[in-house]
Amino acid sequence: MEEKKRIALIAHDHKKQELVEWVLQHKAIITQHELFATGTTGRLVEEALGGYPVHKFQSGPLGGDQQIGALIVERKLDVLIFFWDPMQAQPHDPDVKALLRIAAVWNIVMACDRTTADFVLSSPLMTKSYSPLVPDFSAHLNRKV
């Protein structure tokens, strides 16, 4: 993981405004990193940051969560900031669970609420190179099912 982190930003509909406010609160820090986001969230963040570039994917229900998950598997993302709404049913809930699972499997930094995101962004490791433990899945590859 380099000094400049690759950060994915995702927010459910009822959490988008909160994520945009959080991004603006941390604009000086967040704009030191490369940003990725699902559809509408990416557009809102890019607008809020005055055009700072955000790599945008499909919206979550249309596959954006899975696109982000694929980047995690390919080791092309370092941090997942996902303001999900635990009080609202999501039509793409299996995709959400799959994304959270794959982030945990690949041991990337993940925050699912504003407080945790504050702690992550304020960590001294956000501006330093860091070598996370990469899981060894060789035992799973050789296992007979």
Mean pLDDT, residues 75-99: 85
Residues 115, 16, 67, CA angle at the centre, nearest 5°?
95
Residue type for position 94:
P
Statement: residue 143 has pLDDT above 70: no
Residues 134, 138, 141, CA angle at the centre, nearest 5°?
130
Q: Tell me the sheet residues that pair with 79.
A: 7, 109
Q: Give the residue numbers annotated as catalytic, written as ranges.
A: 65
- What integer best gives the mean pLDDT of the chain? 92
Report d(CA 59, CA 89) in Å as an integer. 16
Statement: residue 8 has pLDDT above 90: yes
* The CATH number, out of the four listed (3.40.50.1380, 3.40.50.1820, 3.30.70.940, 3.40.50.360), of the domain defined by the range 6-141: 3.40.50.1380
User: Which of 4-8, 43-47, 65-69, 130-134 has the weakest average pLDDT?
Assistant: 130-134
Statement: residue 88 has pLDDT above 90: no
Query: For residue 90, what pLDDT is reported?
Result: 67
Percent of the chain that is helix, strand, coil (3-state, to 5): 50, 15, 35
pTM equals 0.91
**Segments making up each domain of the chain, as ranges:** 6-141
Statement: residue 86 has pLDDT above 90: no
